[in-house]
Amino acid sequence: MQTTQFIWFDGKIIPWDQAQVHVLTHALHYGSAVFEGIRAYACVDGSSAVFRLEDHCRRMLNSAKVMRMEIPYDVDALVAACIETLKVNNLGAGYVRPLSFVGYGEMGVYPGDNPVQTIIAVWPWGAYLGAEALEKGIRVKTSSFARMHVNTLMSKTKSAGNYVNSILAKIEAKEDGYDEALMLDVNGYVSEATGENVFIVRDGIIKTTPWTSILGGITRDSVMTLARDLGYTVEEQQFTRDEFYIADEAFFTGTAAEITPIRELDHRQIGAGHAGSVTKHLQREFFKAVQGDNPKYAGWLHHYTVRQ
């Protein structure tokens, strides 16, 4: 991976290589951590902007609330820390990864008085599933692993422990020669991918899975808003894998994956087998919004500047 110089660690800026923890850190053993994935983009006016930074920081605090972790920072403090980390690394576009974790102390499952520590790292990161994927679309396999039942793990938290399910599905999909896994919920309905939400388009109507067993993606929310503003009908509704097979278009959304078209699911070609017209329309509008090229969505951007 491409590193940067500094990491924010509990309020201090320290060198990248010195951002270390003890091997008996609670989160390392039990997955007791919450995190965010945020992107900063270079804007058309020459500045940089973090996309929906406040919303991401709010979601991180909500994840911590559900997990009973006390993060000693409010939204404003987290926002300021993310911006500070980008600026100190002089990074005008890239990925921002805040993480709060239960630290070193008692080794039992009960986190007790173990400290909750917070780090923020930033690094350059291009298209998550490859630049070609954004254009041509990816090949997807329905996973043999189900997404967690809503009372097994808390799907509305972006937490480290939830990702064990994602890792299992991702390894299976990659080793079987696919780019990504589509996971079904325990009732057999389409849920989401390993770190992306999912949309299908049929007869001009856009459908995404309801906010039940899924993480409520900020990209998902942005795409729903953009689509409705463009006059599309957007439904949050359960659907099955065979409805997916006969969709005209399908795509994944996520901060890392942005809007990635799906060209094949389980050897069924989706639509024409490449990015469809609705998908391309939404991609275009999404990239305009994140790069500050549509004043209507200026409120989604937190601008900052780096040294030239």
Provide the annotated active-site residues.
158
Map the footprint of ligand PLP across residues 255-274, applying CB under 6 A.
255
The residues with which 97 forms a beta bridge, in sequence order, are 121
Smallest separation (angstroms) from ligand PLP to the CB of 75: 16
Smallest separation (angstroms) from ligand PLP to the CB of 300: 12
What are the structure tokens assigned to 219, written together? 């990209």
- 259 close to 253: Cβ distance less than 8 angstroms: yes
- 189 close to 263: Cβ distance less than 8 angstroms: no
98 contributes a contact to ligand PLP by CB under 6 A: no
Residues 6+ apart with CB under 8 A from 1: 123
Which of 186, 137, 139 lies closest to 165 in space, CA to CA?
186
The only residue of 196, 249, 264, 285 in contact with ligand PLP, by rule CB under 6 A: 196
The only residue of 92, 137, 217, 292 in contact with ligand PLP, by rule CB under 6 A: 217
Residue number, 194 or 291, with CB nearest to ligand PLP: 194
CA distance linking residue 175 with residue 107, whole number of Å: 35
170 contributes a contact to ligand PLP by CB under 6 A: no
CA distance linking residue 27 with residue 111, whole number of Å: 9
219 contributes a contact to ligand PLP by CB under 6 A: yes
Smallest separation (angstroms) from ligand PLP to the CB of 170: 11
CA distance linking residue 29 with residue 104, whole number of Å: 11
Q: Which stretch binds ligand PLP (CB under 6 A): 100-108, 126-134, 216-224, 269-277?
A: 216-224
What's phi and psi for 43, nearest 5 deg? -95, 160
Smallest separation (angstroms) from ligand PLP to the CB of 192: 5
254 contributes a contact to ligand PLP by CB under 6 A: yes
The H or E element spanning position 282 is helix 277-290
Q: Which stretch binds ligand PLP (CB under 6 A): 1-9, 190-198, 229-237, 295-303?
A: 190-198
249 contributes a contact to ligand PLP by CB under 6 A: no
Which of 227, 292, 271 lies closest to 253 in space, CA to CA?
227
Q: Which stretch binds ligand PLP (CB under 6 A): 103-111, 178-186, 215-223, 227-235?
A: 215-223
φ/ψ bin of 184: left (φ > 0), alpha (ψ from -120 to 50), beta (otherwise) = beta
181 contributes a contact to ligand PLP by CB under 6 A: no
Map the footprint of ligand PLP across residues 23-82, applying CB under 6 A.
37
118 contributes a contact to ligand PLP by CB under 6 A: no
What's phi and psi for 292, nearest 5 deg? 70, 30
CA distance linking residue 299 with residue 292, whole number of Å: 10
The only residue of 7, 64, 215, 259 in contact with ligand PLP, by rule CB under 6 A: 215
197 contributes a contact to ligand PLP by CB under 6 A: yes
Q: Which residues form the interface with ligand PLP (CB under 6 A)?
A: 37, 158, 192, 195-197, 215, 217-220, 253-255
